[in-house]
Chains A and B, each alone.
Chain A
């Protein structure tokens, strides 16, 4: 079952055609890691998976058993999920940006200097 899921991952359209990650990227990999039991790996892939799964479970149980404060709890879970998604997206992009800067700082500078001397 897990192997089948691993081989049939749904590709993210924005990564495939534009090369930028969407806020939900890593959710499937995180879900598979969670199925395997690797909690930390799942957290590293996408921390927003946990509140998302919580919200979905809450939704299913609420629709079945109709809790008294179920609707309010679902809204809270939803807000938690969206904020987690946005925060993790921001953190991921910032880290990537920093990595790119650290790697590419020296060679790019020298290239620019050479070109400036030419002109």
Chain B
């Protein structure tokens, strides 16, 4: 006679299967499946700083997307920390830090560009306006 537990695997069995499928070796120490979007957050966070040539707009979008994804994944992790692998959690945190730095810097750069444009615009319009005849 077989017990019903063997026929119907409980949550731990499923998690073990997932960990064997997705993450056979976890050097970080923890067992479990990788967090969703951990690598995406890391890559986006690093890309966000390399995109300063476009007035910081692409950097800002990349950084903000990475931050949103990271916060979602962190919320998922906090509901059940034991099921996810420790190395992907580390990746997620690293990506989050990179994204925060990248977002702040590209935001500052964008503000700098806007201020520069305003100053440039006022100077130019002033110079042009001086040339116009006054009625």
Contact = CB atoms under 8 A, between A and B. Distances in A.
A66 B27 contact: yes
A74 B42 contact: yes
Interface residues of A, number: 30
Given A14-B53, A71-B90, A71-B91, A22 B98 contact: no
Contacts of A78: 45-46, 49, 97-98, 101
Contacts of B120: 18
Chain B facing A: main interface SS: helix
A78 B93 CA distance: 13
B54 A81 contact: no
Interface of B: 25-28, 39, 42-43, 45-46, 49-50, 52-55, 87, 90-91, 93-94, 97-98, 101-102, 105, 109, 113, 116-117, 120
Contact of B27 (A14, A24, A52, A67): A67
A76 B61 CA distance: 23
B116 A20 contact: yes
Given A71-B90, A72-B94, A82 B49 contact: yes
A23 B109 contact: yes
